[in-house]
Structure 1
Amino acid sequence: MTSDVWLPIPAGEIDGLPDPAGSGLNYRFWDGGPDFPADPADCVFYAVPYMKGMEVAVRPLSAMTSVRVVQTLSAGIDHVEPGVGSLPPGVRLCNAQGVHEASTAELTLALILASLRGFPGFVHGQDKEEWRAGFYPALADKSVLIVGYGSIGAAIEDRLVPFECARVARVARSARASERGEVHALTDLPALLPQADVVILSTPLTESTKGLVNAGFLAEMKDGALLVNVARGPVVDTEALLAELGSGRLTAALDVTDPEPLPPGHPLWHAPGVLISPHVGGSTSAFMPRAKRLLAGQVTRFAAGDPVRNVVLTTE
Structure 2
Amino acid sequence: MSRPLAALAMRPAVAPVLFDAGARRRLNGLVDLGPDPDLVLDEFDSPRARSVLAGVEVLVTGWGCPLLDEALLHHAPRLRAVVHTAGTVKNHVTEACWRRGLQITSAAGANAVPVAEYTLAAILFSNKQVLATRDGYRRTRERATDWHVRLAGAGNYRRRIGIVGASRIGRRVVELLRPFDLEVLLSDPFLDPDEASRLGARLVPLPELFGSSDVVSVHAPWLRSTEGLVSRSLLGSMPDGATLINTARGALVDQPALERELVSGRLNAVLDVTTPDLLPSGSPLYDLPNVLLTPHIAGSMGGELHRMADFALDELERWTRGVPFVDPVHPDAWDRTA
Supply the AA of the counterpart residue of 1:258.
Answer: T
1:238 matched to which residue of 2?
A: 255
Q: Does 1:76 align with 2:103?
A: no
What CA distance in whole angstroms lies between the structure 1 residues aligned with 2:172 and 2:103? 25
**Between structures 1 and 2, the one with greater strand share:** 1
Between structure 1 and structure 2, the one with the greater Rg is 2
Residue 180 of structure 1 pairs with residue 196 of structure 2: no
CA contact (8 A) 2:68 2:94 kept: no
Task: Determine helix, strand or coil for the equivalent of 2:296.
Answer: coil
- Per the alignment, residue 65 of structure 2 pairs with 57
CA contact (8 A) 1:109 1:159 kept: yes
Task: Say whether 1:168 aligns with 2:174.
Answer: no
For residue 137 of structure 1, what is the amino acid of its counterpart? A
Which residue of 2 is the match for residue 3 of structure 1? 5
Q: In angstroms, what is the RMSD of aligned CA positions?
A: 3.4
Letter in 2 for 1:304: R
Equivalent of 1:154 in 155, 171, 179: 171
| Per-residue deviation, residues 116-152 of structure 1 (Å, max 9, x unmatched) | 3333345556766734853152122111111122332
**1:253: Cα distance to partner?**
0.7
- Residue 115 (structure 1) aligns with: 126
**Per the alignment, do residues 35 and 171 of structure 1 end up closer, same or farther by CA in structure 2, a change over 3 Å counting?**
same
Shift of 1:241: 0.9
In the alignment, what sits opposite 1:53? none
Shift of 1:172: 2.6
Give the secondary-structure state (helix, strand or coil) at the position aligned to 1:294.
Answer: helix
Q: Supply the distance in 1 between the matched residues of 2:108 and 2:277 (Cα, whole angstroms).
A: 23
**Distance in 1, Cα, partners of 2:207 & 2:257:** 17
Alpha-carbon distance in 1 for matches of 2:108, 2:89: 11
State the one-letter code of the partner of 2:290: G
Residue in structure 1 matched with residue 100 of structure 2 by the alignment: 89
Query: Do the aligned partners of 1:149 and 1:183 also contact (CA within 8 Å) in 2?
Result: no
The alignment of Structure 1 onto Structure 2 pairs a total of residues equal to 303
Q: Deviations over 1:30-61 (max 9, x none)?
A: 385899883374344333334xxxxx334565
Q: Does 1:277 align with 2:294?
A: yes
C-alpha distance in structure 2 between counterparts of 1:102 and 1:260, whole Å = 22
- The structure with more helix, counted as a fraction of residues: 2
TM superposition shift of 1:207? 2.2
The secondary structure found in structure 2 opposite 1:94 is strand
Give, in whole Å, the separation in 2 of the partners of 1:157 and 1:223. Answer: 24
Structure 1 stretches of 5 or more lacking a match? Answer: 51-55
Q: Percent identity?
A: 28
- TM-score normalised according to structure 2 size: 0.75
**1:228 has 2:245 as partner:** yes
Instruction: Report the secondary structure of 1:287's partner residue.
Output: helix
Q: Report the TM-score when normalising by structure 1.
A: 0.79
1:42-97 Cα shifts (integer Å, max 9, x gaps): 344333334xxxxx3345655431343334333334434xx514545323443324
Aligned counterparts of 2:70 and 2:280: Cα–Cα separation in 1: 31
Counterparts in 2 of 1:77 and 1:237: CA distance versus 1, 3 Å:
farther
Q: Distance in 1 between matches of 2:174 and 2:247?
A: 14
Moved more, 120-129 or 153-162: 120-129
**Deviation by residue 1:148-205 (Cα, 9 ceiling, x = unmatched):** 223322221232223311x1112234123153346637xx212332121111112222
- In the superposition, relative to structure 1, how do residues 192 and 125 fare at CA in structure 2: closer, same or farther (>3 Å)? closer
Other-structure match for 2:266:
249
- Between stretches 104-113 and 139-148, larger displacement belongs to 104-113
